[in-house]
Structure formats: C-alpha cells, structure tokens
Structure 1
C-alpha cells in the first residue's frame, strides 16, 4: 500500500440473525388453570445418617447501609480584632523642643526651614495640584442647591423592625438587666447594669456589669466591678470615658475606662443611701462632674465625682409642709432630668405619684411643690418629650399616660389597660410623636400618637422573657432593650418610625394644646362641683351643730316631771283667780241697776251700761283693791 493514495472502504457483513418458523398447530393445546385444594405430592422423612455430614455455619454479623454517606467538617476561624487609635493634633507638627505658644521660637524655626533648599522644591511640587483644585472650586460651586423648591416625597414604607445584635450575660447564673445607657459619641457603646433585686434570694450572683461595643457581641468592651452589684449606670454626656453607677448596698461608684474595671471613687457607706440606688443621672454643671441619685429609701442626694466621701446636698421626698422625716419619706422608683432645665427634675414614687422638684427653692416643701397622682401602683418610668418639655410620659400599672404640667388632676392622653404589666417607656429622639413601651410578656410596643391613639402602631416580640428596661439612641435609629434573662437586644426600626415628616411637629403641638384645654375645662367644672358639695356639707354640719346644742341645753334644764308639776300648780292658781273674779261680778250686778240699750221710742239709750264695761270696771277696781298698798 502506497502512502498518500486513497483506498476504497472495506465492507464487512456478519450474518448474526436466524429465523425459526413453526406452525401454530404444533404449539399444543392451550393451558387452562383452575383452583384446587392442597395435595401432598412428596414427603421426605429425615435421615439420621446424614446428620454426621452436617457442618453448622458460624454466625457473622455485618452491617449494611444502603443510604448515602455524608461527612461534616467544621472550621472555627478566629475573629479579627480591630483597635482604633487617635491622635489629637491641635498645636501642629512642631518639634518637641519648640513650644507652639512662644512666638519668637516659632519665627526662628520658620526662618530656618525656609532657608532649606528642599523646602522650596517641596512647595513648588505641591503648588501645581493645589492650583488645579483651586481653579476647579472657583469654577464650580459645590455647595449650590439645585432643587430647593422641590418638596421631599413622603416615605411610604411598611412598619418593620429587625434585631441587629444580642449581647448575653457572661455568667452562668443569669441576672436581669436593670438600666441601660448609650455612650455620647453617637452610640458606639452601651453600658448595662446587671443586678437581681429579689429580696432574700439565696442564690449568689456575680457583681460584674458590662460595657458592650455595638459591633462586637462576643466579648464585653469593659467589665465594671465593684463591692456590690450595680443597680444603675449612666454615661457622662460630655465625657465618653466616665461612668457613674448606684450599687445594691446603697453606695455610689465612679469609673473611668482608661483606668481599668475597678471604680476610681466610691462613696462611704455611712453617707450613702439606705437601700439600693435604682437611679443615677448626670446634671448640667460647669465642671461636668456633678450628678444626683435616688433610692427607695425616700432620699435624693447630689454628688461630685471628684470627691464622693460626702454628698453635696440631700433631700427627703416628704410632701408634707412639716419638718422633713424619714418615716414619712416616699420611696423613689424612677427619676428624670432634662439638661435644658438644669434646676428642675422629675421623681416617680412607689405610691404612684409624680413630683416635679426644684432644686433652687429655699425650703424642702417648696422643692417638692407640684404633685401628680399618676398611677395606683409604682411609677416605673418617667420621660419628658424631647420637643415639648411640658409634656411627659409615665409608665405604671397596666397603662401609659401623657401628662402636662399645666393640668394636675388628670392625664391629657392615656392608653388602654393592657393584659400584662408595663415595665418601662421612652420617647423617640427624632420623631417626637413616637414612644416605646416594654411589657412583661417579652413584647415591645411602638406607639405613634399621630397615627393611632388606641392601639400600638407596631408590636415586636423580642423574646419570651420579661423585658425590664429600654433606652433609645440619640440618633433615633436603634433601641436597646434589656430582659430578665440578662440578654441585651439591639433593635433597629424602619425609617417611617425614625424620620419625622414636615408637619409632624405642628400637628403634635395642636394635639397637645387641644387635649390640655379640654382637661382644664373638665378640671374647672369638677372644682365647681367640689365647692358646691363642700358648701352644702358645711350648711348641713351647721344645722346638725345647732340641733346638738339645743339638745344639750334641754338636757341641762329641769326634768319633765318638774316641768309638769310647775305647770299643774300654775293652772290651779289661774283657776282660783278666775273663780273669785266671777263671784265678785255677780255680787256687783245685783247691787247695780242695768239700763236697757234702747228707750221706749226704739232709739239708742245714751245711758246704756254694758256688761263688758261693768266687767272692765270691776276688773280695774279689783286691781286697785288688790294692790300692794291696799287697806285689806
């Protein structure tokens, strides 16, 4: 076969088929099957001779799995830890030897640098891009607003929420969270006080509380330690590193996160509260070091964190105008302070009253002048509206109420009674008509007064445990909620619950004014009815008093028997006198001739003598004869 020459293809055929033919008649007759009873066809009896050849098989167990096999591999990667370091570069990049406050040294140093050759080259090199940027800024106004007249569109969005993070208690025995506080740098950290307030609880709890980083729920940013459990904690609004807290034994502590977990200052036991410190708030002062605390012992104390040996001022919550006494002091369950009103504060008591205090008043009675009967039970939370400072929110019993300082008798707005007890509440920092309420069934209610006043706008099931406290962020985007199981939940809401519309503030103002005016009218009518009832009561009491006086006078005089006896003898004397007078008149009439009243012609007789005249004359004569100077 020569290469390069095309050969014809080779055809191969293999006969692999065979056809077999058979007639139908050769198949035989078709089969027909019928049902019949069982018959014994063959029976073989056992043969003992074959038993010797039988070999039993050893059993072998072997498992067989027909399903598919899967393999599981786990890998736990280490979390990258990031740290932020900042340098405050206010004075400029001057060498250490040169003071930026000495002008002569600065001038000398500038001359020395300007003489250097590298300085001129560096300036020339940097001048070209700087000139280019300057020309661009001059040509284009980057701050110009092109759409000033366009009204922003109304946000149409479904109400929603989502849980961003869950921060759990690091101890084996879980403790409830009592108070929460956001850091003043925009909410990068949040502090929580972990304490169990159950009386005579045999379980021993740890005394540690935590400061969490919002982005790291695995490990606390700082552990707050103290001689007792921390009942309340609060960040300094002017210093991110400073915190204060009230302890379970009544002491007050001050922490600085730059100096570790232990407290920098702690108050003396003898000068502290007699009960757990359930509230601690910073006040507006020049030094930013003053704060005040309250407790259920009925005492409010002002402190300076630079020296906690003794409080600067003490106030007993006794609303009577008499001398202040610990026996009559009302236990403080909650407290509120607004920095824009540095002198005034709000106190919620365990008896259901809300007291507006004024620190600058002279006497103790004037400091606690305004009292509201808010609830029948303890007041769990008090919060002023961030835009309308005269209106404040109270949480107690089974409802939440909105009050006005101008109306003391009743609340201007109130929610209906819930099936569970409400524990805490607070206003939104950005949308002034929204407030949040926590309940014992683990739900968080969101109320918007401009949308619905009867039912909550949104209800979020946070957990199955009791919710004790909440705190809204200053930006209004997130709400921190603390549970009785020691878990801290960070919840974010949708924009329509955070962003206020253009007319929200105006509508809320008109609503508060309308409700306040209505309550004032009702209060005036009730005052008139009380005055009428009081006047009627006074008249009834006067009549009863007069009757009692008459009865007392009757009881002081003679008895009934003596009065009857005197009346009997007086009547007998009068009867004797009348009988004697009748006898005398009869004798005189016999002696005297009586003239007829008419003469024979029928004319009246001038000399007529009537019996009455005779009788009167006789009476006069009798009086003259019976006088004290008579001859008889």
Structure 2
C-alpha cells in the first residue's frame, strides 16, 4: 500500500525569515565527574599541537620537455706539439711558438676565431652559465638561526618510590622507542619496597611504558643491540649481566652466574661490532673489564684487570665508571675510572700487561662520560668533577681543550652525531649545556634548565635532533634542538679539524717547554747537591785534621811526662837537702815546660804549613 502525504505551503512563505524568541535553558542530562577515573591518566604537560593556518590546496604537476644528454670524452695531448719538439724543454717550445706566430695562416685563424669568441663572451655577460640553480646543500642556510630547544615529552617513573634514571638507550630502528634503566645509586640506602623494574617507552605514548623489564637486581646500564633491535643488554647493581628478548616478554632471557660476574655494580656495557652480533663487554668499579658472548653468558670469555702498574693485581686495580669503543678501531677501547684517569687498552695484545697502552690524567673525580668524536676518533671527550675536557691521543700529558669550572658537578656528556664541533653536558643543578666550538669556546651556546632536580644521564638521537635527559627522580625529558644545532654547517668539518690540530700543536709545544724547564730545575738541584757534598767533605777534612792534631799533641805530652818521671827517679834525694832538691825539681820542671812549649809551637807551625801545602 502506498502512502502519499502532500505538504502544502503558501508561495508567500517561501524564504520567509525565521523569528527566534527567548526561552529558559533546559538541563537535559547531568554527568558528575568521577575522581577515580583521573587516577588512570597522567596529565600531558607540555602539549605540542600543530595548527595549519594556510588553506589546503590541490597538487598540480606539469611535465617539461625531456632533454637527452650524452657523455663523451676528449683525448687531449699536451699543447698539440709536433714530434720533433719536446714540451719539457723551454727553449724548444719558445723557438716553436715564435715560428708559428710568424706564419700567415696562424694570424688568419686567430682573426676568425676572435669574432666567434667575442659573440660567446657577450652571451656570458647576459646569462651566467656558471650559476647553480639546484644546489640543495648551499640553498639551506641555518647559521643565522639562534640556538634553541623545546621540550617534546616527559616520561615519569610510574612507581610510587621514585628512582634515578641511570642510563638511556635509543631504539636502533627509527629511534621511536627509548629504553630507560632505573636504580638507586646511594650505597646501601635503597628504600624498602623499591621496584627493580626498568622500562621501554614509546615516544608517542608518555602515559604508560610499552614494556617492563624485570631483572633480579636494579639496572644501572641498558643498551639496545644495534643488529637485533629486540635484544637488550643490562648491567645490574649486584654485578650480573642480563639479557632480554622483547619478543619473549619481560623476564630475563640470559643471566650470568654470580661466581663469574662482577663484584661491584656494572656501570658500562657496550655491544661489539662482530659478525654474529652477540659479543659485548662490560666494566665495573671492581676494576675488571669482561668480554661476554650472550650465546654462552654464564661466564666471561676474557677478563682484563685495570691495574696501571701492569702487574695484574686486583687489589691495585682502578674502578671503571665509563666505557668507550669505536667500531673503526676494533682492537682499542678506553675506560674512565673513579680516580679521574682514562686508560687506553689494546684488546689484541699478546700478554695481559701489554693490554694497557697508556693513561690520561686530568680530572679530580670519577669520569662519568667518555666518548670519541664520531668524525675525528683521535679526539675524545671526558666529563668529570666540574669540567669537561677534550683530549687528543697525540698529546697524553694534558687535555687540548676544557671548559671552565662550573659551580655544579657535571654528571654526563656526549658528542653530537651530526656536527663535529657540538657536544652536550648535564649538571647536578638540572641544567643542560650545549657547546658549539665554532660559535664560541668559553661559554655554552645554549643553557637550558630542564628540571629542578639533578640530571644524571644524557643520550642523543642518531639524527642529532632529539636529546633525552634522565633525572634523579626518574623523570626522562625529551628535547628537540633547533636546526642550527642539528645540521652540519658549511666547512664545519675543516674548521673543527683545524681547531683540534691547532690546540694539539699548542699542547705539544707547552709540554716540550715544561719538559725543558723540569730538566733545568733538575740540573740546578743536582748542582746544589754537589756543592753541599763538597762542603760536607771540607768540614769532615777539618774535623779529621783537628782530631789528628789533638792525638799528636797528646802523645808528645805523654812522652814529656814520662821523661820527667824518669829524670826524677835518677836524681838521689836526702832529708837534709830535701828543700833544696824540691827547688831544683821545680826549676827543672819549669825549664822542661818552656822547652815543651817551644816544641809545641814548632810542631804546630810545621803542621799548619803542611796542611796549607
């Protein structure tokens, strides 16, 4: 059945204006807020929203005529000289030129070519044939842009008991994930009930971590495998080495045994560039560097003791805080120690004593960061105490460049992967400093107050645009730097190379000067010692002479007394002439004493004359 309804409307009401009237508001539905639901969410602060101000336009394309190009070569012989003329001989070439210039055909040919060249020169004045219309590298100028940075995201530790973010690692494929290790670094002061979990965050979702890693002991370091992005390597607080495969879940896939592991917390782990992608090595404050293969991680494949005396004694070893390994130098690695000394080692040495090549000493405290320049591996950066230093392997006695001493302690540092003259440092007052050696060397090009608590770790993305900073309360802040800090500048490589070479030469000259001054001071000290020895010998000689004289005169006086006693015995005495005899004896003794005094004067005069001779 078809139902038809016809709406009728007067023609005069078509397009009639609508009339509105006031009316009281009506409440249709009232939904009260639920405070329990707010606990499931974390406030996103800050919020970065992009707004498109221009109107959307359709895309248009136009095809131009195709121009076919052909490559061809020209075989040019030196000057087109005839066979009988040697172009290396100056006299023959001058003689041949004079002969040709006198030829009429030569003059006519030059006159014909001159008109053609004049026409081409006039064309060049109208159109610049050497202009480069599509030079993409020089078209972008970012040097005039002021250095700046902005916060993109903040990842907070989801645990109630906050822990320090001790290490960061970017996902090798796409850098869209960030692995963060959480631990309490205060010795034996970990709060009761503190979680051991570490997390992998997705940059697009700061509210909840993508996966939780559950180790047996809190992680101090965590590294992605560059060849297998599903595998992570962690160094535990109790000295063990743990390995995860994110495809298998949150539990540990491989774990080293306690007996063969480190005896102190593991502060550094690095993957080696091997064919299998399963080799790595670790460092700890127990003074050992261990090599591992995760296919058989129960015990290390090799152990090196950081004893700079090369005696392989563990009690004299220096505690390792940071590690550095450059894939272009597969046999070398470097270790930063608690004592402020950098140890350069050779893994392929034949004996354990030869594995320690040299040391670099310049910090007053532990070296928290150690990294080679990605463009110039001979130069490396160290961060410790209140300063950051740049070293050269050619100058071992002192660093070639260093920052001023800051009021706050420095905690970490890293080179920019895209700019050879830019590096980053973090401080205990929550500040991130960005240094640009091409811009200025005395002060940082940009200093940012990231958070109120201390910053402990820093990691730069491979593109150089994003920087992640971990704080004492477990907050990881993601920052994006401006294009001037993340884009290679014109001639920056040459400028940075010249800066490093100049400072290296300056340090070598200063070292040579200091060495020369030390040798002079040593020579002066040795000369003073010789003079002192001569004075001592002279004093000893005078004492011997005086002693000999005393012994000599003692013997003479003893002989005189003996003769006097014998003379008295030979002279008879009587009771009558007793007084007369005593007078004679006193007279004889007086005469003998006068003779003795004369003898003493003569002997002493002769002795002094002999000594002077």
Q: 2:413 matched to which residue of 1?
A: 425
For the pair 1:278 / 2:267, whether they are aligned, the reply is yes
1:182 aligns with 2:149: no
Match of 2:80? none
Shift of 1:153: 4.1
Question: Deviation of residue 544 (structure 1)?
Answer: 3.9
Deviation of the 1:223 alpha carbon: 1.0
CA–CA distance in 1 between the matches of 2:247 and 2:64? 43
Q: How does 1:184-223 map to 2 (within 5 A)?
A: 184-201=172-189, 203-204=191-192, 205-223=194-212
In the alignment, which residue of structure 2 is the partner of 1:455?
Answer: 443
Structure 2 CA distance for aligned equivalents of residues 297 and 139 of structure 1: 70
Residue 230 (structure 2) aligns with: 241
Query: How far apart in 2 are the matches of 1:175 and 1:297?
Result: 23
SS at match of 1:392: strand
Q: For residue 275 of structure 1, report the CA deviation from its aligned partner.
A: 0.4
After TM superposition, list the pairs within 5 Å mapping 1:337-376 onto structure 2.
337-376=325-364
Equivalent of 1:488, from 476, 484, 489?
A: 476
Displacement of 1:560 in angstroms is 6.3
Judge conservation of contact 1:330–1:350 (CA < 8 Å) in 2. Answer: yes
Contact 1:351–1:377 (8 Å) recurs in 2: yes
Deviation, structure 1 residue 410: 1.7
Name which of 286, 307, 323 aligns with 1:297: 286
The question of whether the paired residues in 2 share the 8 Å contact of 1:186 and 1:474 is answered with no
1:263 match: 252
Aligned residue for 1:151, secondary structure, equals helix
Which of 405, 425, 428 is matched with 1:440 structurally? 428
Aligned match of 2:295: 306
> What residue number does 1:609 align with?
none
The CA deviation at 1:384 is: 1.0
Whether the 8 Å contact between 2:553 and 2:600 is mirrored in structure 1 is no
Q: 2:487 aligns with which of 495, 499, 507?
A: 499
Shift of 1:510: 1.0
Q: Distance in 1 between matches of 2:67 and 2:361?
A: 62
Larger Rg: 1
Specify the alignment match of 2:134 in structure 1.
147
Aligned partners of 1:578, 1:548: CA distance in 2, in Å?
30
**Taking structure 2 as the reference length, what is the TM-score of the superposition?**
0.68
Q: Report the CA distance between 1:268 and its aligned residue.
A: 0.6
1:360-407 CA-partner distances (Å, limit 9, x unpaired)? 122333222211112111111111111111111111111111111111
Equivalent-residue separation in structure 2 for 1:227 and 1:510 (angstroms): 49
SS of equivalent residue, structure 2 residue 493: helix
1:399 to 387, 392, 414: 387
Are the structure 2 counterparts of residues 577 and 158 from structure 1 closer, same or farther at C-alpha, using a change threshold of 3 Å?
Answer: closer
The residue number in structure 2 matching 1:132 is none
Q: Residue 326 and residue 146 in structure 1: after superposition, are their counterparts in 2 closer, same or farther (change >3 A)?
A: same
Q: How far, CA to CA, are the matches of 1:527 and 1:508 in structure 2?
A: 28
Q: Which runs of 5+ in 1 are unaligned?
A: 1-70, 80-135, 580-632
Secondary structure at the counterpart of residue 468 of structure 1? strand
| Partner residue, 1:531 | 519
After TM superposition, the structure 1 = structure 2 runs for residues 74-89 of structure 1, keeping only pairs within 5 Å, are none
CA–CA distance in structure 2, aligned partners of residues 72 and 427 of structure 1: 54
Aligned-partner SS, 1:537: helix
Within-5 A mapping of 1:37-76: none
CA distance in 2, matches of 1:248, 1:550: 67
Alignment of 1:250 onto 2:249? no
Residue in structure 2 matching 1:474, options 462, 473, 477: 462
Query: Structure 1 stretch 201-210 or stretch 229-238: which is displaced more?
Result: 201-210
Distance 2:260 2:176 in 1: 35
Report the Cα distance in structure 2 between the residues aligned to 1:578 and 1:230, rounded to whole angstroms.
Answer: 95
Compared CA separation, residues 532 and 190, structure 1 to 2 (3 A): same
Contact 1:281 1:293 in 2 (8 A): yes
DSSP 3-state at the match of 1:500 = coil
Distance 1:565 1:292, change over 3 A: same
C-alpha separation in 2, matches of 1:342 and 1:517 = 27
Aligned to 1:52: none
The DSSP-based 3-state class of the residue aligned with 1:517 is helix
Maintained 8 Å contact 1:241/1:256: yes
- Taking structure 1 as reference, are residues 149 and 316 closer, same or farther at Cα in structure 2, changes over 3 Å only? closer
**Helix, strand or coil for the counterpart of 2:318?**
coil
Distance 2:445 2:485 in 1: 10
Q: CA RMSD in A?
A: 3.1
Q: Counterparts of 1:405 and 1:368 in 2: how far apart (Å)?
A: 14
Identify the structure with the greater helix proportion: 2
Task: Give TM-score, length-normalised by structure 1.
Answer: 0.66
Residues 319 and 369 of structure 1 are in contact (CA less than 8 Å); yes or no, is this contact kept in structure 2? no
Match of 1:157 among 137, 145, 169: 145
CA distance in 2, matches of 1:430, 1:370: 29
Shift of 1:310: 1.1
Residues 1:578 and 1:195: Cα distance change in structure 2 (over 3 Å): closer
CA displacement 1:158-200 (0-9 Å, x = unmatched): 3221111111111100100111111111311111110001112
Rounded Cα–Cα distance in structure 1 between residues aligned with 2:242 and 2:466? 28
Q: How does 1:83-162 map to 2 (within 5 A)?
A: 147-148=134-135, 151-155=138-142, 156-162=144-150
Tell me the secondary structure at the aligned position of residue 239 of structure 1.
Answer: coil
> What SS is found at the alignment partner of 2:274?
coil
Tell me how many residue pairs correspond in the alignment.
451
Q: In structure 1, which of residues 384, 388, 395 is the aligned counterpart of residue 372 of structure 2?
A: 384
Cα distance change on mapping 1:577 and 1:364 into 2, 3 Å: closer
